[in-house]
Amino acid sequence: MKKTIVVTGATDGIGRVCAHSFAKGQEELILVGRNPDKLAALVYSLQVTGATVHSYVADLSSAKETFLLSETIRKNHPKIDVLLNNAGAYFDQHTLTKEGIESTFALNHLNYFILTLGLLPSLKKAGEARIVNVASRAHMGVSLDFNDLLGEKEYSGWKQYQRSKLMNIYFTYELAERLNQTKITVNCLHPGFVKTRFGQNNDGLAKFLLTFAQNVFAISEEKGAETSIFLSTDPSVTSVSGKYFVKKKIEKSSEPSYDVAAGRNLWSYTEDLLKHKFSFKFPGF
């Protein structure tokens, strides 16, 4: 049976490879991207193969745009089988979104949280649905400072990126627990160090070093997309939830990532921020 799959960050890198893979499987695609021209070109390249494709332009670093996107997709697509949260970025310098939120936290964490909770009703209607969160092995070696989650006191681009990937894992584990009485699974993954446009939004030394490292050490986009595709479609993980995958295998994430209290604190912090700053109301569980 044809599945409906949402892919964020669909126009480049892993997201684009996943979109092409899903199209070959004749799945119905809902693609989200920030650049309208790139998104239109991707949609055209998939539609000429006969794929059913819907596209939505949104800046997922904006909480309001992400929330409105979730409402629009939910209205237009009452049943969703897979949500692949793939969009993310690295910001070397401390920058704020147009809503005044630190960019790494906004794009890499809030985006996953808002879109996922907004699409839960559509995922529930699919029955055995899947939520797949692209995290990273970069989460190793850090913990969260709840007195400075937004890097306002002390900012390191790499440390903030690491912490955002730890947040992806906390979000995965906590959501899996909250959905354990449903048939929705939630898993996260490390895609590998992939040769993509990752980091190209930066300037100077950070851009140079990332480009050099990718040219020397990185794996291909196709290789990097394998675990995302596996978790989104493979029958062997239909009932697996709350796990961290590397190279299509379950692995242990970092010791701090299993701190249940920290995961719940992050959830509460995020909910409170969205409630008080934006007055968002999610459809709920």
Residue 219 pLDDT:
76
Q: Which residues of 199-223 are buried (b: 16+ CB within 10 A; e: fewer)?
A: beebeeebeeebbeebeeebeebeb
Mean pLDDT on 177-186: 97
Residue 192 pLDDT:
86
47 touches 41 (CB < 8 A): no
Q: Rounded to whole angstroms, how far apart are CA atoms 164 and 136?
A: 9
244 touches 251 (CB < 8 A): yes
Where does residue 261 rank: exposed (0-12), middle (13-18), buried (19+ CB within 10 A)? exposed
Residue 127 pLDDT:
87
Q: Rounded to whole angstroms, how far apart are CA atoms 113 and 192?
A: 23
174 touches 257 (CB < 8 A): no
CA distances from 125 to 54, 133, 254, 276 (A): 19, 20, 33, 30
Confidence band, pLDDT 50/70/90 cuts, at residue 210? very low
Residue 166 pLDDT:
98
Residue 62 pLDDT:
98
Res. 203: pLDDT tops 80: no
- Report the length, in residues, of the chain: 285
Q: What is the pLDDT of residues 71-110, one digit of tens each?
A: 999 999 999 999 999 999 999 999 999 999 999 999 999 9
Residue 139 pLDDT:
98
Residue with tokens 């920290």: 262
Q: Rounded to whole angstroms, how far apart are CA atoms 76 and 69?
A: 11
* Angle ∠(176,179,185) on CA atoms, nearest 5: 55
Residue 58 pLDDT:
98
Res. 141: pLDDT tops 90: yes
Res. 214: pLDDT tops 60: no
Residue 190 pLDDT:
97
- Percentage above 70 pLDDT, the chain: 91
Q: Rounded to whole angstroms, how far apart are CA atoms 141 and 24?
A: 38
Q: Which residue has the higher pLDDT, 217 or 76?
A: 76
Residue 198 pLDDT:
53
Q: What is the pLDDT of residues 110-131, one digit of tens each?
A: 999 999 999 999 999 998 999 9
Res. 208: pLDDT tops 70: no
Residue 170 annotated as catalytic: no
Residue with tokens 């509460």: 268
pTM for this model (two decimals): 0.92
Q: Rounded to whole angstroms, how far apart are CA atoms 135 and 161?
A: 10
Residue 19 pLDDT:
97
Q: Rounded to whole angstroms, how far apart are CA atoms 170 and 216?
A: 31
pLDDT, mean over the chain = 92
Catalytic residue among 56, 90, 112, 161: 161
Domains of the chain, earliest start first: 4-278 (3.40.50.720)
